[in-house]
Amino acid sequence: MKVKIDTSLCEGHAKCMEATEVVFEVRDDDLSHVLVDTVPAEEEANVLRAVRTCPRAAISVED
């Protein structure tokens, strides 16, 4: 699984980091960033939770 953040939509609410700090990080630019190229299998459920809870729908995944 790969994950992307649309930075034109992201407002840095950090809901994704609440779901998994292994995959997401909010940096000094107040935007979320993806920390991995491929999501570890054990983090996939957390990433899907991040997709559901992002208030701006800025996160997308692809297999």
pLDDT tens-digit readout, 2-38: 999 999 999 999 999 999 999 999 999 999 999 999 9
Going from the C-alpha of 7 to that of each of 40, 41, 42, 45, the distances in angstroms are 22, 25, 25, 22
Q: Cα 60 to chain center, whole Å?
A: 8
Which residue(s) pair with 5 in the sheet? 59
Q: Taking residues 37-42, report their average pLDDT.
A: 98
Confidence (pLDDT) at 53: 98
Domain that holds residue 13: 2-62
Confidence of residue 47 (pLDDT cuts 50, 70, 90): very high
Q: Taking residues 36-62, report their average pLDDT.
A: 98
Confidence (pLDDT) at 54: 98
Confidence (pLDDT) at 39: 99
Q: How far apart are CA 57 and CA 12, in angstroms?
A: 12
Q: How many CA atoms lie within 13 A of 37 on its CB side?
A: 0
How many domains does the structure of the chain reveal?
1
Report which secondary-structure segment, H or E, holds 36. none
